[in-house]
Amino acid sequence: MLFFSFFKTLTNQTVTIELKNDIRIRGTLKSVDQYLNIKLDDVDVLDLDKYPHLSSVKNMFIRGSVVRYVVLPRSEVDVGLLEDATRREAANQAGKAR
């Protein structure tokens, strides 16, 4: 649940998502769910010429499993807190595995 928790804090931030088929989409992250599906608003498809089928799309639901990267705004990430969250997650996982 760490990534879910993490992406939740990026709501309403502008992110760029690169899919596994190389499409890159910039937009406002409106929501994320437990599968890390992502809802983007006001999307802007980079290299739109190559993807004419996305030319009139304004909002998008992206399946989490096809995402390769998410480019985030650095200022919106609290690294120290994220480190501790990661430690907690690791401890949780270890606890569950036992």
The residue ranges that bind another protein (CB under 8 A) are: 1-2, 4-6, 8-9, 11-12, 19-21, 30-35, 37-39, 41, 43, 48-49, 52-63, 65-66, 68, 78, 80-85, 87-89, 91-92, 96
- Is residue 40 within 8 Å of 57, Cβ to Cβ? no
Minimum CB–partner distance for residue 87 and another protein (Å): 6
Q: How far apart are CA 11 and CA 46, in angstroms?
A: 21
Q: Cα Rg for the chain, rounded, in angstroms?
A: 15
* Least Å from the CB of residue 26 to another protein: 14
